Chain A
Amino acid sequence: MPATTSDVTWRDAVTPLSRASRRRWTACYALLLVLAAASVTDGAFASDRGSDPTTPLLLLVAIPVVFGMLRRGTRRITALDHPDLDERDVAARNSAYRIAFPLFGLVVIAALVLLVATVPDITRTPRAGQIATTIPGFFVEGRALLGLGLWIALWAAFLPTGVLAWREPDALESETDGERLSETIRDALLGLALAGGLAIVLVSHSDAGLWPFVATLALLGALGRRAAGQPMLSRQRKLRVAIGIGLILVLLVAGLLVSVSNG
């Protein structure tokens, strides 16, 4: 991605290149998955959208963003259909999968143990003819099972990339790239925004915690462009931002008009 030919995007700006940074975000991603599970089972980290507590929007956005960061940080080596892997990449990928499989087994076992420990016990008494037999068991809603399946699938998708991100040595900066932001400062800013957002969710049980995270991503993108010697907002981006602000204003005015007309 030469800085002279392509714009630095927020994705470029937040891609972790050093092993230390990748390890931080690997741990962060695992924590986000645990919090997502907690938001469904416990409710402490849940948002009060609708009737039931649900996974906060911050987690729904942060989970794919952090996963994308790790995928870019490992050059998507774990993709089985990757066309440009050399012998070292293939060896690193195979090794990552070999470690990820048993880890995934552990996650599945832990999830099942937690499921059995947390779901309510029920006793079923079917009547076979005149004899009533009592069968103890667990009660799990179909929706909860679907959620558990999705959660396990997220771990399955993450673990090979997570193992690779944890083990790969520091990547070299491209010789054609411009300057980059310091990874420590960038991680601190983004981590702070994420922690702040989670604190807002924890206190207010609303989706307001999403905005510090999204704003920090945009800010890091702008800082990344400036560090690479590019304008913080290109002409095309300025136009997009202007259109976005215009649309928001139109929606606000329309909403106001509707509420005024309804009294």
Chain B
Amino acid sequence: MSETDPLRLGGHEFASRLILGTGKFSSVEVMARAVEASGTQLVTVALRRFNRERPEDDLCGPLAKLKVTLVPNTSGARTAAEAVKAARIARELCGSPFVKVEIHPNPHHLLPDPIETYEACKILAKDGFVVLPYMPADPVLAKRLEDVGCAAVMPLGSAIGTGHGLATLEMLRLMVEDSGVPVIVDAGLRSPSEAAAAMELGCDAVLVNSAIAAAGYPAAMAGAFAAAVGAGRAAWLAGLMARGDAASATSPLTSFLDCA
């Protein structure tokens, strides 16, 4: 299915519809095994000061070996200006055109600031970035972000790292119906069944980090998410049957037990 059904982001095509975050893993090796098991082609990374005491935290080398495309995020930014600056530094570092715009000023809930996000996306899209904004599950904002040139919209399922799943389900449904760019559920997923549900709804991809990094066996969970995303996408393409209010028999009801 994936051969003929690529995820398209700003002129780039990807067979995998699972994007992985690289945070919270217990080691670089555990992260690398999870990335491999997931089959992902896109991974997010964060820009931080190089720590000479912990050179092993530098992910450039390990991720280059895995041959994945980097999606630097702008985490730590509280304003559009800071996010734009982070995106430009990241592009200088790795040359990737992708950026995940992530602006969340409040550490209590880490919810994205819609106004600063919109302003940053406007600037970065004009600047030639493939802009992927982490955003509230708001269908109106999604259209506005599409209009300024975002390559996708990335609404949250629930707050980052909470594992509360698709708390925004009805809003996601509206976004999928309206969107002219891919809808990628980013944040809040805990289980592969939630990823499958998002895909069955018509979402184009999911971004998962905590659910895999904090699993008992991250690589195994990455494989489970990959299978769920594939199943959900296949189900969406196959076309789910309509829901009905009344029962509808699958076996013929013609009586025979009263014969003779």
Do the two shown chains form a genuine complex with each other? no
Residue ranges of A at the interface with B (Cβ–Cβ < 8 Å): none
Residue ranges of B at the interface with A (Cβ–Cβ < 8 Å): none
